[in-house]
A and B are shown apart, each in its own frame.
Chain A
Amino acid sequence: MTDEKRFSPEAQRYLDGETVNGLDQSELAAADLFGQVIQEYAASLRTPGAEVDRAVMDAIVPRARSHRPASLWRWLVQPHLFTVRPALVAAAAITLVAIGALTIDIPGFTDGEQAAGTTTGQPATILVRFELRAPDANEVTLAGSFNDWSPQGVQLVKNAASGLWTATVPLTPGEHQYLFVIDGSQWIPDPSAHAQVDDGFGQANSVIVVGPRGVVRS
């Protein structure tokens, strides 16, 4: 009875992804069923969302205060990126989004426009936050000139309550074109980008120009 409930060594090797000869039909069926069940289990697992990032950063950034020299501290607290929202303008209260936009030198950073492996005179990199409200989407990614337009490149994370998808991406200063990709197939522009430009294929790409202090969006 116990034997029935164990996988044979051949079946184990089969499940390990090795090539196996002479696996009998019932063992093969059991192994395949096992694979299927595990796949469904893995797909059913949820993963922690962006609230973890917020909690972590809230916990560590104030802690850094006492350890940093004053000049660096000024640099850290200086809001380099802010987002302007029309709705708040109407209320005469523009929201400034202070994200840590940092001057950093990152060898090997590539954004589709920049040679890899720079070792001296490295460019500044700015953290830029992308947002899209898409409550019904199952997956949102960001594809653009900074990641060779790979739809798998940057995954946004959903806030379940608000339906807002977000990602923070380090970008070099200058112009970047991009689109959001919803559920792997629907490419849509960012309504809050600086501008939308002809993509040469009859549709539009979103454009942002990243300055050293970040990006102001509409």
Chain B
Amino acid sequence: MKHSLHTLAFLAVGLFAILPSAAHSQDVRTRLLDRGASVEFANQVAEIVDNARAEQLPTEPLVSKALEGWANRARVPQGRVIAALNQSVQRLRTGRQIGLAAGLNPLPGPVVSAAADAIGRGMSREQVGQVLGSATGPDVAATGLTVASALVAQGLATEAAVRVVGDAFRHGRPPEEILEFPSALTGIRAQGREMSEIARQIMQGGGLPSPTAPGMGGRGTRPQGVPGMPGDGQKKKKGSSGGL
């Protein structure tokens, strides 16, 4: 029961996270001005965001990127921010095309954003389409794409990243488990496993090796500053489920 509640919560996260937020995008101009941006820059950004909204693209990634660019103004020229926003718009368009081609209808904004990110990290249109095709529904497709592109950013071969997420969907893994994959990959790498070896196992249908193999358990210690956990020092339950 708890499990299904978690699943619901994650679905809610997915939906809330990616539905275009009118409140966020509408006030991007004000928010930039409040932070000291020039009127010209704020207007340029607002125009890009408005146009994207008119095209029914998700605007949240653009707003976030604009605020990031402005926060980095000491090292990022404003022209560069505008160029990056225009590039993001292009990727969002591509993301939407892929989503529509995968037959997702309605196509949630988060899926479009995640597809755009995946393209930006080197996944092919076909691979993005594969992940979307394997997802059990539009609400979890964004999670699958986010995880696949994170695994790629971690250094896993794109085909292995696509495969492991696709296999998880096919085996009925809930989205919250799939969100654990990047942490699991880090854990496995910390055990000294080579990325190529991990990719090979995935491509042979073996999934992501369990990070709960020997070496991940044992001494539970806690660094300074972490909230005290009762029973500290006792053997801890593993952080990830096995047989992903």
Contact = CB atoms under 8 A, between A and B. Distances in A.
Interface of A: 50-51, 53-54, 57-59, 61-62, 64-65, 76-86, 89, 92-100, 103, 105, 112-116, 118, 120-124, 127, 129, 131, 143, 145, 148-151, 157, 159, 162, 164, 166, 168, 172-175, 177, 185, 187, 194-203, 205, 207-218
Contacts of A116: 23
B243 interface: no
Contacts of B16: 114-115, 118, 121, 123
24 contacts: A50-B224, A61-B229, A61-B230, A77-B229, A86-B190, A93-B218, A94-B191, A96-B217, A113-B64, A114-B13, A121-B9, A149-B67, A149-B70, A162-B224, A164-B224, A168-B226, A173-B10, A174-B17, A194-B182, A194-B185, A201-B80, A209-B150, A209-B183, A211-B183
Interface of B: 6, 8-13, 16-19, 21, 23-24, 31, 60, 64-65, 67-72, 74-76, 80-81, 84, 87-88, 120-121, 143, 146-147, 150, 153-155, 176-177, 179-187, 189-192, 211, 215-232, 236-237, 239-240
Contacts of B221: 95-97
A129 B225 contact: yes
Interface centre among B70, B189, B220, B223 (most CB of A within 10 A): B223
A98 B229 contact: yes
Contacts of A86: 190
Contacts of A131: 223
B64 A148 contact: yes
Contact of A201 (B31, B84, B218, B231): B84
Contact of B13 (A92, A124, A168, A195): A124
A194 B61 CA distance: 20
A212 B218 contact: no
B66 to A, nearest CB: 9
A199 B217 CA distance: 35
Nearest to A110: B24
Given A97-B221, A112-B67, A122-B9, 19 more contacts: A77-B231, A83-B223, A92-B215, A113-B17, A114-B17, A115-B21, A121-B11, A123-B12, A145-B64, A148-B64, A149-B67, A173-B10, A177-B68, A197-B153, A200-B87, A202-B80, A212-B176, A215-B183, A217-B186
